[in-house]
Amino acid sequence: MHRTEASSATADGGPPSDRTTPERVLDTAAALFWEKGYRATTTRQIAAAVGIQQASLYYHVRRKEELLYQVFVSSLEQLLTDVQMAMEGERDPLDRIRVLIHAHLSTLLKHQMRHVMMLTDLRALSRPHRAAVLALRKEYATLVRSALEAAQAGGKIRTDISSKCLYLALLNLLNWAVIWFRKDQALSADQLASLFTSIYLNGAAAEPTRVLPALAHAGKANGKALPKKPKTEKLARRKTWQRLTVAAAALFSKKGYGATSTREIAAVLGIQKASLYYHIGSKEDLLYAICKSSLEQIRQDVEAALAEVRDPVERILALVRAHLASMLRDQQEHAVAVSEMHLLSPERFEQVRSLRDAYDSLVRSVLQEAQSTGALRLDIPAKYLCLSLLGMMNRVEVWYRRSGPLSPDQLGQLMGAIFLTGAQAQP
pLDDT in tens, 204-256: 998 877 676 667 665 554 434 444 444 444 444 457 788 899 999 999 998 88
pLDDT in tens, 340-353: 999 999 999 999 99
Residues 15 and 8: their CA atoms lie apart, in Å, by 8
Identify whether the C-beta of residue 70 lies closer than 8 Å to the C-beta of residue 158.
no
Distances (CA, A) of 308 to 165, 212, 217, 361, 368: 29, 20, 15, 19, 18
Percentage of the chain surpassing pLDDT 70? 89
- Is domain 202-421 classified as CATH 1.10.357.10? yes
- Tell me, what's the pLDDT at 17? 43
pLDDT in tens, 297-323: 999 999 999 998 999 999 999 999 999
Stretch 185-196: mean pLDDT: 92
Dihedral sign computed on CA atoms, order 333, 75, 23, 89: positive
1: pLDDT strictly greater than 50: no
- Domain assignments of the chain as residue spans, ordered by start: 21-156, 202-421
Stretch 395-421: mean pLDDT: 93
Dmax over CA atoms of the chain, in Å, equals: 74
Q: What is the pTM of this model?
A: 0.86
Identify whether the C-beta of residue 298 lies closer than 8 Å to the C-beta of residue 324.
no
Fold equal for 21-156 and 202-421:
yes
CATH superfamily, domain at 21-156: Tetracycline Repressor, domain 2 (1.10.357.10)
φ, ψ at 94 (rounded to 5°): -70, -40
Share of the chain residues as helix, strand and coil, in percent rounded to the nearest 5: 70, 0, 30
Distances (CA, A) of 181 to 177, 185, 420: 5, 8, 23
